[in-house]
Amino acid sequence: MKWINDSSALLIVDVQNDFIPGGELAVREGDQIVSVINELQNKFKHLIATQDFHPDDHGSFAANHPNRKPGEFVELAGLTQILWPVHCVQGTIGASFHPDLNQSQWKAIFQKGKNPEVDSYSGFFDNARRGDTGLGDYLKSIGVERVFVCGLALDYCVKFTALDAKSLGFETFLIADATRAVNLNPDDGELAIAEMEAVGIGILTSKDL
Protein backbone atom coordinates (compact mmCIF):
# COMPACT_ATOMS: atom_id res chain seq x y z
CA MET A 1 0.00 0.00 0.00
CA LYS A 2 1.23 3.47 -0.84
CA TRP A 3 0.60 5.18 2.47
CA ILE A 4 1.38 8.77 1.55
CA ASN A 5 -0.07 10.78 -1.34
CA ASP A 6 -1.09 14.37 -2.06
CA SER A 7 -4.18 14.00 0.12
CA SER A 8 -2.09 12.99 3.16
CA ALA A 9 -1.10 15.29 6.02
CA LEU A 10 1.33 14.90 8.90
CA LEU A 11 -0.12 16.32 12.13
CA ILE A 12 2.69 17.26 14.54
CA VAL A 13 1.15 17.55 17.99
CA ASP A 14 2.61 19.79 20.72
CA VAL A 15 6.36 19.13 20.35
CA GLN A 16 7.03 21.98 22.78
CA ASN A 17 9.75 22.65 25.31
CA ASP A 18 7.57 22.10 28.37
CA PHE A 19 6.83 18.53 27.22
CA ILE A 20 10.51 17.73 26.65
CA PRO A 21 12.79 16.41 29.45
CA GLY A 22 13.68 19.45 31.54
CA GLY A 23 10.30 21.09 30.86
CA GLU A 24 7.48 21.77 33.31
CA LEU A 25 5.43 18.76 32.18
CA ALA A 26 8.20 16.57 30.80
CA VAL A 27 7.43 13.41 28.84
CA ARG A 28 10.11 10.78 29.28
CA GLU A 29 12.15 10.44 26.08
CA GLY A 30 10.09 13.20 24.48
CA ASP A 31 13.21 14.66 22.89
CA GLN A 32 13.91 11.39 21.07
CA ILE A 33 11.02 11.84 18.66
CA VAL A 34 12.30 15.12 17.19
CA SER A 35 14.74 13.53 14.73
CA VAL A 36 12.11 10.95 13.74
CA ILE A 37 9.57 13.70 12.99
CA ASN A 38 12.10 15.75 11.06
CA GLU A 39 12.79 12.74 8.83
CA LEU A 40 9.07 12.08 8.39
CA GLN A 41 8.43 15.66 7.27
CA ASN A 42 10.41 15.04 4.10
CA LYS A 43 7.75 12.58 2.93
CA PHE A 44 4.69 14.84 3.19
CA LYS A 45 3.28 17.69 1.14
CA HIS A 46 1.05 18.91 3.99
CA LEU A 47 2.67 19.57 7.37
CA ILE A 48 0.48 20.98 10.14
CA ALA A 49 1.34 21.50 13.80
CA THR A 50 -0.66 22.02 16.97
CA GLN A 51 0.53 24.12 19.89
CA ASP A 52 -0.66 24.05 23.49
CA PHE A 53 -1.04 27.75 24.26
CA HIS A 54 -2.49 28.44 27.70
CA PRO A 55 -3.17 31.72 29.49
CA ASP A 56 -1.51 31.78 32.90
CA ASP A 57 -4.89 31.60 34.64
CA HIS A 58 -5.87 28.33 32.98
CA GLY A 59 -8.20 26.16 35.00
CA SER A 60 -6.19 22.98 34.40
CA PHE A 61 -3.24 24.33 36.38
CA ALA A 62 -3.05 23.08 39.96
CA ALA A 63 -1.47 26.41 40.94
CA ASN A 64 -4.78 28.13 40.17
CA HIS A 65 -6.70 26.00 42.70
CA PRO A 66 -5.92 26.67 46.38
CA ASN A 67 -4.49 23.67 48.24
CA ARG A 68 -4.53 21.49 45.13
CA LYS A 69 -1.62 19.56 43.64
CA PRO A 70 -0.88 18.18 40.16
CA GLY A 71 -2.54 14.81 39.70
CA GLU A 72 -5.63 15.73 41.71
CA PHE A 73 -9.03 16.17 40.06
CA VAL A 74 -11.48 19.06 39.89
CA GLU A 75 -14.53 19.86 37.77
CA LEU A 76 -13.87 22.14 34.80
CA ALA A 77 -16.46 23.03 32.15
CA GLY A 78 -18.68 20.30 33.59
CA LEU A 79 -15.97 17.68 33.05
CA THR A 80 -13.67 15.87 35.44
CA GLN A 81 -10.29 17.54 34.98
CA ILE A 82 -6.89 16.30 36.10
CA LEU A 83 -4.70 19.12 37.37
CA TRP A 84 -1.32 19.72 35.74
CA PRO A 85 1.75 21.76 36.55
CA VAL A 86 1.78 25.21 34.93
CA HIS A 87 2.91 24.56 31.34
CA CYS A 88 2.93 25.99 27.81
CA VAL A 89 1.94 29.48 28.96
CA GLN A 90 1.56 31.96 26.11
CA GLY A 91 4.75 33.92 25.51
CA THR A 92 7.06 31.60 27.45
CA ILE A 93 9.97 29.49 26.24
CA GLY A 94 8.07 26.45 27.50
CA ALA A 95 5.32 27.06 24.95
CA SER A 96 7.81 27.31 22.08
CA PHE A 97 8.50 24.37 19.80
CA HIS A 98 11.61 22.29 20.42
CA PRO A 99 14.50 24.23 18.84
CA ASP A 100 15.66 21.23 16.79
CA LEU A 101 12.21 20.65 15.26
CA ASN A 102 12.21 21.70 11.61
CA GLN A 103 9.37 24.16 11.07
CA SER A 104 10.45 25.47 7.67
CA GLN A 105 7.81 23.70 5.58
CA TRP A 106 4.84 23.89 7.91
CA LYS A 107 1.60 25.01 6.27
CA ALA A 108 -0.17 26.07 9.47
CA ILE A 109 -0.06 26.02 13.27
CA PHE A 110 -3.28 25.54 15.24
CA GLN A 111 -3.18 26.74 18.84
CA LYS A 112 -5.31 25.15 21.53
CA GLY A 113 -5.98 25.49 25.24
CA LYS A 114 -6.47 29.26 25.05
CA ASN A 115 -9.82 29.23 26.87
CA PRO A 116 -9.05 29.24 30.62
CA GLU A 117 -12.36 27.58 31.42
CA VAL A 118 -11.81 24.28 29.58
CA ASP A 119 -8.79 22.12 28.73
CA SER A 120 -7.99 21.14 25.16
CA TYR A 121 -6.12 17.93 24.46
CA SER A 122 -7.22 17.50 20.85
CA GLY A 123 -5.94 19.67 18.03
CA PHE A 124 -9.51 19.86 16.71
CA PHE A 125 -11.80 20.62 19.67
CA ASP A 126 -11.65 21.51 23.35
CA ASN A 127 -12.44 18.72 25.80
CA ALA A 128 -16.08 19.81 26.05
CA ARG A 129 -16.30 19.94 22.22
CA ARG A 130 -17.67 23.46 22.44
CA GLY A 131 -14.70 25.18 20.85
CA ASP A 132 -13.35 24.31 17.39
CA THR A 133 -9.78 25.26 16.38
CA GLY A 134 -10.65 25.18 12.68
CA LEU A 135 -8.18 22.37 11.97
CA GLY A 136 -10.79 20.02 10.54
CA ASP A 137 -12.18 22.59 8.12
CA TYR A 138 -8.66 23.61 7.12
CA LEU A 139 -7.61 20.05 6.30
CA LYS A 140 -10.72 19.54 4.18
CA SER A 141 -10.15 22.87 2.41
CA ILE A 142 -6.70 21.75 1.20
CA GLY A 143 -7.96 18.34 0.08
CA VAL A 144 -6.61 16.21 2.93
CA GLU A 145 -8.30 12.84 3.36
CA ARG A 146 -5.68 10.86 5.30
CA VAL A 147 -3.86 12.06 8.42
CA PHE A 148 -0.80 10.70 10.20
CA VAL A 149 -0.48 11.78 13.82
CA CYS A 150 2.74 12.13 15.84
CA GLY A 151 4.05 14.22 18.72
CA LEU A 152 3.36 14.58 22.44
CA ALA A 153 1.92 13.07 24.41
CA LEU A 154 0.60 9.73 23.21
CA ASP A 155 -1.90 9.17 26.01
CA TYR A 156 -3.39 12.69 25.93
CA CYS A 157 -3.07 15.19 23.10
CA VAL A 158 -1.93 12.72 20.43
CA LYS A 159 -4.67 10.22 21.28
CA PHE A 160 -7.47 12.77 21.35
CA THR A 161 -6.27 14.44 18.15
CA ALA A 162 -6.27 11.07 16.39
CA LEU A 163 -9.69 10.11 17.76
CA ASP A 164 -11.19 13.40 16.60
CA ALA A 165 -9.57 13.10 13.18
CA LYS A 166 -11.18 9.67 12.80
CA SER A 167 -14.56 10.97 14.00
CA LEU A 168 -14.43 13.73 11.39
CA GLY A 169 -14.04 11.20 8.60
CA PHE A 170 -10.31 11.32 7.96
CA GLU A 171 -8.49 8.05 7.42
CA THR A 172 -6.24 8.20 10.47
CA PHE A 173 -2.91 6.64 11.42
CA LEU A 174 -0.68 6.89 14.48
CA ILE A 175 3.08 6.83 13.89
CA ALA A 176 4.01 4.93 17.03
CA ASP A 177 7.75 5.60 17.14
CA ALA A 178 7.17 9.36 16.68
CA THR A 179 5.32 9.76 19.98
CA ARG A 180 5.84 9.13 23.69
CA ALA A 181 3.41 8.83 26.60
CA VAL A 182 3.13 10.70 29.89
CA ASN A 183 2.26 7.38 31.56
CA LEU A 184 0.82 8.70 34.81
CA ASN A 185 -0.06 5.02 35.10
CA PRO A 186 2.59 2.70 33.62
CA ASP A 187 0.36 1.25 30.89
CA ASP A 188 -1.44 4.45 29.78
CA GLY A 189 0.46 4.55 26.49
CA GLU A 190 -0.42 0.97 25.64
CA LEU A 191 -4.04 1.57 26.58
CA ALA A 192 -4.13 4.66 24.35
CA ILE A 193 -2.92 2.63 21.38
CA ALA A 194 -5.53 -0.06 22.06
CA GLU A 195 -8.26 2.60 22.26
CA MET A 196 -7.19 4.04 18.91
CA GLU A 197 -7.00 0.63 17.27
CA ALA A 198 -10.49 -0.20 18.54
CA VAL A 199 -12.02 2.62 16.47
CA GLY A 200 -10.07 1.76 13.32
CA ILE A 201 -7.02 4.01 13.59
CA GLY A 202 -4.04 2.37 11.92
CA ILE A 203 -0.85 1.93 13.93
CA LEU A 204 2.35 2.33 11.92
CA THR A 205 6.00 3.12 12.48
CA SER A 206 8.11 5.57 10.53
CA LYS A 207 9.81 2.61 8.85
CA ASP A 208 6.47 1.60 7.29
CA LEU A 209 6.47 4.90 5.42
Name the catalytic one among 31, 88, 112, 126: 112
Catalytic residue flag (residue 14): yes
Name the catalytic one among 157, 159, 164, 166: 157
For 32-84, the pLDDT digits (tens) are 999 999 999 999 999 999 999 999 999 999 999 999 999 999 999 999 999 99
Name the catalytic one among 14, 18, 119, 164: 14
Cα–Cα distance, 52 to 179 (Å, whole number): 16
Catalytic residue flag (residue 112): yes
Q: What is the mean pLDDT of the chain?
A: 97
**Would you mind telling me the total number of residues written for the chain in this entry?**
209
Contact call for residues 145 and 154 (beta carbons, < 8 A): no
Taking the model in full, what pTM does it have?
Answer: 0.97
For 99-142, the pLDDT digits (tens) are 999 999 999 999 999 999 999 999 999 999 999 999 999 999 99
Contact call for residues 154 and 190 (beta carbons, < 8 A): no
Q: Which domains does the chain have, with CATH numbers?
A: 8-54+87-208 (3.40.50.850)
